[in-house]
Amino acid sequence: MENRIEKHLDEYLSSYMDGALSELDKRRVEEYLEEHPEAQAILVQMKQQSTLLRSKPPLVPNDWFWTNLSLRMDRERAVRREVLPFSRRYIPHAVAATIAVLALMSVVLYRQRDNLQQYVAAKRAAVEHVYKEGILKGSIFPFFTKVDKNEALQFAVYGTLPMDEKTGTSLRVDERSGAGYRIEVAKSKVPRARSITVAQLCKAVGATMQQEATVDSLLAVACEKIQSSVLVGDNNAIAIHAGLPTLTRALMSNIASTLGEPQRVRFRQFLDQCNAPYTIMAAGAPPAHVSSDRLLTEMGRIPPTDRFFVIDPDSAMVSDVHINIDSLRSMMFAASLQMEKARERVHSAIREFAVRNRQRAPRPYSVTEDEDRISIQVSAAEPVMPDESFFFRLVPRISGAGEGGRLPFVTPDAGMSRSQIVSQRRAGDQQSSAPARIAVPANRGPVSLDSLLNDVRKSLPQRESRKKVPEDAIEL
Amino acid sequence: MFRTNLALREQSDAAIIAVFQAGDRDAFRYLVERYKERVRNVIYSIFNDKTLVDDLAQEVFIRVYKALPTFRNESAFYTWVYRIAVNRCRDEIRSRKLRKIFSLHSLTENPDETLPQEFAEAPEDNSARELVALGLQAIPEKFRLPIVLKDIEGMSYEEIAGVLGCEIGTVKSRLSRGRALLRKKLEPIWKTE
């Protein structure tokens, strides 16, 4: 039994501390503790940490929690209501109308399909141009906007692409393990691999000028593939092309195919020196010579799928979706144009509304500004909550009318020294002891705010202007 | 307008829920008033971050509000609320973890992997209580939650199993693993004593 306790000491002590052991087990643990002071020390530490956790003072209660929560719920309800610009009872009618419109559109589109295809084909070239220039407006854009040939080579050799240098996050792919393939976005914990360049590779294998040109072209194709294989959305969702792992294999295979047999041996040695996870081996009889055109054509076709894995960091959801990258480009371009037009329409509508509204009715507020102040005066016609809504009413306690017959704004004592603040307060207290007053409203009819203020002013003693007391006159 | 319904406020959870389910949505306020501090504190214990407590607690109660019409009193209301709160916290932890992975300008270290520097050095101006709370943040979520529910919230194994949606045996083993991990994280403190 002692062995068992020793083996599962943490579990036994934890249950012992919680009083969750049977009588028999409890006795055995107590016997064990008597014989093992180190276990006693562990138990004491466990109890201490538990006590410390429990003794942490609770948060200061939030008295505004319900108010804030109800405001947020109101906001969410308002947003949901805005989704439907009409009453819910019209939903069946709206659905029927939508179906009818869709059916009509389908018929029209079907009849016009040839024209549409021509139209799409004509636009595609323009869209490609826009995409290549990186002006893909909207919410999805390529994660790797610029991949150079050295990075593409490193991707082929190591299967990793650095995504964020600062956090060490990288994209890793592995297709060659024989058990399917793997795509990972992770913080790399392994030591950084040796950085390699195309020049180093060519030098290591002793590539001819023509071979160098072929490798260079292969890597150029790979760069483009990588750029269109990893997309990122506004919400940080990342879409990774399912065929990306194949690219590494294709690239390695095609680089090896450009080389002669002695050079392939050197290529293997190069991979060994780089500590690359994989090396090359001929699948059948080593190819004598493969034309660069054929290799480039093969590269262009890889990866031949439109499957993407979309990883949403907020919901931690991974979706397996099919995205036609060409149609996506077209859609994003069309959407960006539509957005631009809609934004313009909204702006012009707002401007038009503002102009018309200004002509029709006087504004219920006026704005005045001078050097250090901007003031918005809202007219009394604006709805305000009547005094009867409150249990208490606030009345002024400072005598003397402010600007325009209104009480002045009072600003905090910021910027003064503590002694200045105290001295001013004391001076004020000596001159007038008028306390802050909160009056329960009398049972009388509605009273205007101005007349109420006048009543209060009359009832207060007139103060003399405050004299500033020298700072050193008051001992703190 | 600002008067409260004292009679309803003093009723049991089941009675308030029945009133809510009968169509009086205002009754929800009394459930919120009753449990808001517990939910806020459990979130605070899990994250040790005051800045996100109110936001997450609001989201928890919005979820409760949406699901309350279908609540069937098969478990205690507070266990159910805790379950929603813990699930929301789990979502947040996963989301933070992923955001950290995806973040292009991550400024913080991963709390699940490393302790803050000041913790490792155990400076004198940090109380042991704060250090234990920090240590708790440094252990993985699946071990942290049972500790919060047991040692801070004082729940029974059965209640924790209900909240976390797992077996009692799992709760026991995670609790013991969690406590052991926490003890290990707190070794600098024990050594200085």
Residues 20-39 of B with CB under 8 A from A: 29, 32-33, 36-37
> pLDDT, tens digit, for every residue of A24-45?
999 999 999 999 999 999 999 8
Show residues of chain A in contact with B1, CB under 8 Å: 389
For residue A129, is pLDDT > 90? no
Contact B82, B64 (CB under 8 A): no
Measured distance CA(A271)–CA(B91) in Å, rounded: 42
Domain spans, chain A: 2-51, 138-323, 384-473
Considering only CB atoms, A11 lies closest to which of B32, B45, B176, namely B176
The shortest C-alpha distance from B19 to chain A (Å) reads 18
What is the pLDDT at residue A185? 74
The predicted complex's ipTM stands at 0.81
Measured distance CA(A226)–CA(A240) in Å, rounded: 10
> pLDDT, tens digit, for every residue of A41-84?
999 989 988 988 888 888 889 888 988 898 888 888 777 666 66
How far is C-alpha A329 from the geometric centre of its chain's CA atoms? 23
Listed residue (A163, A323, A164, A150) closest to A223, CA to CA = A150
- Please indicate whether residue A91 or residue A383 has the higher confidence score (pLDDT): A91
Domain spans, chain B: 9-104, 109-193
> pLDDT, tens digit, for every residue of A269-300?
888 888 887 777 776 666 666 677 777 777 76
Considering only CB atoms, B50 lies closest to which of A14, A59, A313, namely A59
What is the pLDDT at residue B159? 92
The CATH architecture one would assign to domain B109-193 is Orthogonal Bundle (1.10)
What is the pLDDT at residue A104? 86
Contact A176, A246 (CB under 8 A): no
B97-110 average pLDDT score: 52
For residue A462, is pLDDT > 60? no
Considering only CB atoms, B102 lies closest to which of A72, A73, A238, namely A238
Pick the CATH number of B9-104 from 1.10.1740.10, 3.30.2130.30, 3.40.50.2300, 1.10.520.10: 1.10.1740.10
Interface contact flag, B101 A169, Cβ < 8 Å: yes
Measured distance CA(A339)–CA(A38) in Å, rounded: 70
| DSSP E strand stretches across A328-418 | 365-370, 373-378, 393-394
For residue B62, is pLDDT > 90? yes
Show residues of chain A in contact with B154, CB under 8 Å: 54
Contact A326, A131 (CB under 8 A): no
Measured distance CA(A191)–CA(A179) in Å, rounded: 25
> pLDDT, tens digit, for every residue of A213-269?
888 888 888 888 887 788 776 556 677 887 787 788 788 888 888 888 888 889 888
